[in-house]
């Protein structure tokens, strides 16, 4: 009588693993280092744009941020893993005490793996997000740009813009309104006040409406203090809105126009560079721009790609500011943004021409 053949269990490893299992294992290894490795709500950090070389951009960002981070906050401190492990071996045989020690060691090891600066996946090409821990992104980035503006020393090759991100939330209008009501208070809630502008940029997102977002955020700023006014020429504060997929990144920065929209390549340029025009030619070019803008409202000679990348606007109801045509003001800012080096030279040589660019 023949005996039935027993089939080997399927869990013996005869089948190949599915692709999903490899992906899950890869994500698990990434999370072992502590914290999330992709852009999500609840993070603080620095949003960096680059020129087709993200790996080199991350290297330059680490070098630059560590240099100025050590200058502002001191060198980064790490815990000795060997000393921590030896200290966890106690002589107490109590099971509960041993369990508490083990939990404490796990938490300490996780905190030890968290670095001051950590690159995470941004979700967009040519965009790098550096998560920060224990620092204030606005102060650090402003310190970097201020030093580069004064010294005119170029320290990066592939990094273009460096924007601090003070908070992130879900990229849905209701979530953004709820988050912005408390996020904007330190700068605009009474007794604090100031002039402002809103800069909007969206990547890999199609469900958000630019004009609607700007209108709602400007309304929130006005509700915090009625003395907050719009200024597109030289605002005291710039509200930066960067949307990537389903995440909205917000920040409020100073000297946005002075530091060339936080562009590290442009901020080191000066009027003495041979590649730029001389002061007389720059002033004449600025006056020519002004004449074109005043002669007709239909003039739109700036680069359309630049206008899409750097969209700045204010709410439509600006009657209290005496702005009857906000669209023309947006064109002025965009055209000025197309050639920031000309604007800087006009500012340095002729203060009156700067006041006319409105």
Chunked into runs of 10 residues, the chain (358 residues) has average pLDDT values of: 55 57 50 67 96 93 95 77 44 70 66 78 95 94 96 95 97 96 95 96 95 96 95 95 97 96 93 47 44 42 43 46 40 41 42 42
| Contact predicate 153/269, CB 8 Å | no
The pairing of beta strand 195-203 with beta strand 229-230: parallel
Three-state DSSP state, 128: strand
pLDDT at position 102 is 77
pLDDT at position 267 is 95
Q: Radius of gyration of the chain from Cα atoms?
A: 26
Please, where are the H alpha helices in the chain?
Answer: 19-31, 54-73, 81-87, 95-113, 137-151, 173-183, 185-188, 210-224, 279-295, 304-309, 326-338, 340-349, 351-356
The model's pTM = 0.62
pLDDT at position 239 is 98
User: What is the rounded CA–CA span in Å between residue 215 and residue 226?
Assistant: 15
pLDDT at position 52 is 86
pLDDT at position 9 is 55
Cis peptide before 311, with omega less than 30 degrees from 0? no
User: What is the rounded CA–CA span in Å between residue 232 and residue 254?
Assistant: 13
Contacts of 35 (CB under 8 A, 6+ apart): 114, 118, 131
End-to-end Cα spacing for the chain: 100
pLDDT at position 358 is 37
């Amino acid at each position: 009588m023949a005996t039935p053949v027993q089939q080997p269990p399927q869990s013996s490893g005869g089948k190949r693993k599915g692709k999903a299992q490899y992906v899950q294992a890869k994500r698990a290894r990434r999370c072992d280092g502590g914290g999330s490795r992709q852009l999500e709500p609840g993070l603080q950090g620095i949003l960096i744009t680059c020129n087709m070389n993200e790996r080199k951009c991350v290297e330059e960002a680490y070098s630059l941020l560590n240099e100025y981070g050590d200058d502002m906050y001191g060198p980064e401190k790490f815990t000795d893993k060997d000393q921590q492990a030896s200290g966890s071996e106690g002589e107490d045989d109590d099971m509960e005490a041993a369990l508490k020690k083990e939990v404490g060691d796990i938490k300490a090891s996780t905190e030890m793996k968290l670095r001051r600066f950590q690159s995470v996946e941004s979700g967009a090409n040519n965009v790098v997000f550096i998560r920060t821990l224990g620092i204030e992104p606005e102060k650090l980035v402003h310190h970097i740009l201020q030093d580069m503006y004064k010294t005119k020393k170029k320290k990066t090759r592939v990094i273009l813009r460096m924007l601090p991100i003070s908070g992130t939330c879900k990229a849905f209008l209701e979530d953004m309104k709820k988050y912005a009501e408390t996020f904007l208070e330190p700068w605009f809630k009474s007794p604090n006040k100031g002039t402002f502008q809103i800069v909007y940029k969206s990547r890999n997102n199609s469900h958000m409406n630019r004009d609607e977002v700007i209108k709602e955020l400007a309304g929130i700023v006005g509700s915090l203090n009625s003395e907050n006014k719009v200024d597109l020429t030289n605002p005291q504060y710039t509200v930066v809105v960067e949307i990537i997929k389903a995440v909205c990144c917000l920040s409020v920065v100073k000297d946005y126009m002075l530091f060339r929209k936080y562009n590290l390549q442009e901020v080191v340029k000066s009027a003495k560079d041979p590649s730029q025009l001389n002061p007389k030619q720059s002033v004449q070019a600025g006056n020519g721009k002004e004449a074109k803008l005043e002669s007709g409202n239909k003039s739109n000679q700036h680069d359309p790609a630049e206008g899409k990348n750097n969209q700045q606007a204010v709410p439509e109801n600006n009657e209290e500011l005496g702005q009857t045509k906000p669209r023309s003001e947006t064109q002025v800012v965009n055209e000025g943004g197309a050639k920031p080096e000309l604007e800087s030279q006009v500012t340095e040589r002729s203060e009156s021409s700067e006041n006319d660019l409105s």
